[in-house]
Chain A
Amino acid sequence: MFPSPIEKASFFGRFAYKLSLPIALFIWLLPLLAIFMTSIRPASDIATGNVFGIPSSFQLLQNYGEVFAKTDAMRYLFNTLLIAIPTTIISVALACMTGYALAIYKFKWALPMFFLFVAGNFVPFQILMLPVVDMSNRLEIINTVPGLVMFHAAFQTGFCTLFMRNFMKALPFELVESARLEGVDEFKIFWHLVLPLVKPAIAALCVLIFTFIWNDFFWATVLLRDDSTLPITVGVRTLNGEFVQQWHLVSAASLLAAIPPVIMFFAMQKHFIAGLTLGATKG
């Protein structure tokens, strides 16, 4: 283990380390803490300059309640779910199939196809923007949630395929081979043998894609205009314009937008990190 375990250090060293941990964390999360404190104080505090002191009254429920009452925050949150959940399901399902094709079968095109998915996954969004807008226009799905879902699902299939293919490549190939010798159909091998084995990868991908889509801002601004279809990330920016100088409400709304991915992260931490650190550990 590197650096040397702190247990071996002197008493003073251990003490200093344990003391420095919370201090470092405090500094690291200071912006977040500060904005949380702002979100629970009354507007008058900010006006009088009491931005960092103890709030003159705790208005956690009032401020957050006001965000819901005064704005469409509830609908924005609901829209985000409407976008994120179908996208996650479609892209992960498609990637299970593409990943299986690219990992299990040894055909000439396997590697070029795999690289196509990987390369497409890394392109800048702007080069896709105008053609996608134009196509959505002509298919009459611009400005609708299904239209955005279609794009997200297609784009995320790239990342999911990268992930799935590498995960499936690590499975013992003899299993598939012996199943084939017994005359099991290819689709049955996929469904009954391989899918149960890649459950951890499916979980990791679901958590990750859900978070990515929840936090998406660019595509929602490009493909959605109607207020009734906007997700929370765009909604929060709109609120920022409405609540000029009402920082206690802006900060409450921002934190609302951040809460679901944070809960997702803490609930599924293991899967989340497994997804993000893909390939960072193997040779």
Chain B
Amino acid sequence: MSTTAALPMDRFATSTGRVVIAAIVFVVCLIMLKLVTTTGMQDLLGYTQKTQARVPTFLVRMVFLLAAIAAAFFFVTGLSYYKRNKVAVAPWLFLSVGLVLFMIYVIVPIFQSISYSFTRWDGLYDFNGVWTGEWVGFHNYKVLFQDPNFYTSLWNNLLWLVLFMLAVPIGLFIALFLNQTVTGIRIYKSLFFFPFVISQVVVGLIFTWAYNPEFGLLSEVWSWFFCETKTNIVGNLTRVCSPEPPSILGDSTYATYGIIAAGLWPQIAYCMILYLTGLNNISSDQIEAGRLDGAKGWKMLRHVILPQLKPATFIAIVVTVIGALRSFDMIATMTQGGPFGSTNVLAYYMYDQAVGEGVGRYGYGSAIATILFLIMLVYISYFLWRMYQDEVEAR
């Protein structure tokens, strides 16, 4: 800085020293990245097994990668070009790391999956690292469209979509019920929201237990109506029920409904919190105006409140649709697709076919995933279109 006074420098000039050092660091890091290998780390750190050396290898690579990124930043910001075009170049610098990571792990895999769906492959490479699959064109899709399990999964996905939508009106109802200012209402609101915070695996376990026909919650409620306790010949108390309590998860007609009901529990909580926030932001002027016009109860809700809750409803529907199509955890914990594949949805069936026990049908699994993706794409496009409308309006 002190030199600037004595020697009037162009403030857009390339800072040579900085650029040179950054370039050297960058090249060194790239060379080191190439040099760090699992076997090398194994020798260096004395691990007997290759698997043990994987994590240290990864971490060392990450350090060099980060150093390389930092060096690249210093290199670019030292250049005269950057200094002249700051506002045009800077956003790409800010975007770069996040965008590259997101591309590698999310965007590119979508297209890879679609390309896998035209192959027959078990996920393996041969000894020389050459891909062992073969191209089969639309074969996977032809098989898929004749697979009864696929249609069961598709039908169940539809059931999930339709029945999951119940979360929206029920959530609204609970939100209306709780939208008061009694003492302690805040605690009630958070306790009602509680199920959403819990992992779906845990919700699945809770409901598996609740549905248990021998000692679950449901059988207890059942026994209030249909059971009586008798003393049997040996003198012990036994419970005699007619009809017997249903085994919901063991019966292929009810199992899917049972899982959906369990899934609704946290989803209702989510919709409720969306509506509670929405109700909080409704303008009281309009409600007062509505009251003066004699609107109340259902009419008020229909004509004054719901139009103002539109953004909340939109988000509630979006998250519910996505939740319904993503249903996997619950099925994995509660039934694993059974009994007899009756609770499969596309998400679970794909997992089962691709990496389930004994099968490694990467191509077939990818075909199922592609179908699921196409269904989701309808909603994603709709969501993006709505967002685009908002953006255009905001301008």
Chain A hits for B304, CB < 8 A: 2
Q: Does A182 contact B (CB under 8 A)?
A: no
State A250–B205 Cα separation when bound (angstroms).
Answer: 8
Chain B hits for A2, CB < 8 A: 176, 179, 279, 282, 287, 300-301, 304-305
Asked if B199 contacts A261 (CB within 8 A), the reply is yes
Per-residue CB contact flags for chain B residues 291-325 toward chain A (1 = under 8 Å, else 0) read: 00000100011001100000110011000001001
Chain B hits for A119, CB < 8 A: 380, 384
Residue B354 contacts which of A4, A129, A187 (CB distance < 8 angstroms)?
A129
Q: A17-B180, A125-B347, A129-B354 are in contact. Are A28 and B192 (CB under 8 A)?
A: yes
Residue with the greatest number of chain A CB neighbours at <10 A, chosen from B215, B237, B370 = B215
Asked if B176 contacts A3 (CB within 8 A), the reply is yes
Which residue of chain B has the shortest Cβ distance to A239 in the bound complex? B205
Asked if A127 contacts B372 (CB within 8 A), the reply is yes
Q: Does A77 contact B (CB under 8 A)?
A: no
Taking the nearest CB of chain A, how far is it from the CB of B366, in angstroms?
A: 6
Q: Does A171 contact B (CB under 8 A)?
A: no
Asked if B369 contacts A126 (CB within 8 A), the reply is yes
Asked if A130 contacts B366 (CB within 8 A), the reply is yes
Taking the nearest CB of chain B, how far is it from the CB of A206, in angstroms?
A: 15
Which residue of chain A has the shortest Cβ distance to B210 in the bound complex? A31
Residue A25 contacts which of B182, B188, B388 (CB distance < 8 angstroms)?
B188
Q: Does A88 contact B (CB under 8 A)?
A: no
Q: Does B200 contact A (CB under 8 A)?
A: yes
Residue B202 contacts which of A1, A97, A258, A269 (CB distance < 8 angstroms)?
A258
Q: Does A251 contact B (CB under 8 A)?
A: yes
Q: Does B197 contact A (CB under 8 A)?
A: yes
Which residue of chain B has the shortest Cβ distance to A153 in the bound complex? B101
Asked if A273 contacts B99 (CB within 8 A), the reply is no
Q: Does A155 contact B (CB under 8 A)?
A: yes
Chain B hits for A240, CB < 8 A: 205, 333
State A139–B192 Cα separation when bound (angstroms).
Answer: 44
The bracket for how many chain B residues form the interface is: 35 or more
Interface size on A, residues (CB 8 A): 112
DSSP majority for the A interface? helix
Which residue of chain B has the shortest Cβ distance to A110 in the bound complex? B91
Residue with the greatest number of chain A CB neighbours at <10 A, chosen from B54, B98, B176, B274 = B98
Asked if B209 contacts A280 (CB within 8 A), the reply is no
State A279–B51 Cα separation when bound (angstroms).
Answer: 45
State A31–B198 Cα separation when bound (angstroms).
Answer: 13
Taking the nearest CB of chain A, how far is it from the CB of B256, in angstroms?
A: 19
Taking the nearest CB of chain B, how far is it from the CB of A1, in angstroms?
A: 6
Asked if A134 contacts B123 (CB within 8 A), the reply is yes
User: Which of A45-53, A57-65, A66-74, A197-205 contacts the other chain?
Assistant: A45-53
Q: Does A87 contact B (CB under 8 A)?
A: no
State A118–B300 Cα separation when bound (angstroms).
Answer: 35
State A272–B209 Cα separation when bound (angstroms).
Answer: 29
Residue with the greatest number of chain B CB neighbours at <10 A, chosen from A5, A52, A153, A279 = A279
Chain A hits for B322, CB < 8 A: 122
Which residue of chain A has the shortest Cβ distance to B180 in the bound complex? A6
Per-residue CB contact flags for chain B residues 71-85 toward chain A (1 = under 8 Å, else 0) read: 000000100000000
State A143–B52 Cα separation when bound (angstroms).
Answer: 11
Asked if A24 contacts B105 (CB within 8 A), the reply is no
Q: Does B231 contact A (CB under 8 A)?
A: no
**A:224-283 near B, CB below 8 Å:** 233-234, 236-237, 240, 247, 250-251, 254-255, 257-258, 261-262, 264-266, 269, 273, 276-283
Asked if A127 contacts B209 (CB within 8 A), the reply is no
Residue B106 contacts which of A113, A154, A187, A190 (CB distance < 8 angstroms)?
A154
Asked if A158 contacts B274 (CB within 8 A), the reply is no
Asked if B92 contacts A101 (CB within 8 A), the reply is yes
Per-residue CB contact flags for chain B residues 185-202 toward chain A (1 = under 8 Å, else 0) read: 100101111110111111
Asked if B326 contacts A21 (CB within 8 A), the reply is no
Q: Does B346 contact A (CB under 8 A)?
A: yes
Q: A30-B217, A250-B205 are in contact. Are A120 and B116 (CB under 8 A)?
A: no
Q: A21-B188, A141-B54 are in contact. Are A261 and B198 (CB under 8 A)?
A: yes
Q: A2-B300, A122-B376 are in contact. Are A32 and B315 (CB under 8 A)?
A: no
Per-residue CB contact flags for chain B residues 83-99 toward chain A (1 = under 8 Å, else 0) read: 00011101111110111
State A138–B54 Cα separation when bound (angstroms).
Answer: 12
Asked if B380 contacts A122 (CB within 8 A), the reply is yes
Asked if A233 contacts B199 (CB within 8 A), the reply is yes
Chain B hits for A196, CB < 8 A: none
Which residue of chain B has the shortest Cβ distance to A35 in the bound complex? B206
Q: Does A128 contact B (CB under 8 A)?
A: yes
Which residue of chain A has the shortest Cβ distance to B370 in the bound complex? A127
Q: Which residues of A contact B (CB under 8 A)?
A: 1-7, 17-18, 21, 24-25, 28-32, 34-35, 38, 46, 49, 51-52, 94-95, 97-98, 100-102, 104-105, 107, 110-111, 113, 115-120, 122-135, 139-141, 143-147, 150-151, 153-155, 157-158, 161, 180, 185-187, 190, 211, 214-215, 217-218, 221-222, 233-234, 236-237, 240, 247, 250-251, 254-255, 257-258, 261-262, 264-266, 269, 273, 276-283
Q: Which residues of B contact A (CB under 8 A)?
A: 38, 51, 54-55, 57-59, 62, 77, 86-88, 90-95, 97-99, 101-102, 104-110, 112-114, 116, 123, 176-177, 179-182, 185, 188, 190-195, 197-202, 205-207, 209-210, 215-217, 220, 237, 239, 265, 270, 273-274, 277-282, 284, 287, 296, 300-301, 304-305, 311-312, 315-316, 322, 325-326, 328-329, 332-333, 346-347, 350-351, 354-355, 362, 365-366, 368-370, 372-373, 376, 379-380, 383-384, 387-388, 390-391
> Closest 5 interchain pairs by CB?
A154-B105, A131-B109, A101-B94, A215-B199, A94-B98
User: Assuming A126-B365, A133-B355, A161-B98, what are 5 further A-B pairs, CB within 8 angstroms?
Assistant: A28-B192, A101-B94, A124-B369, A144-B55, A273-B277
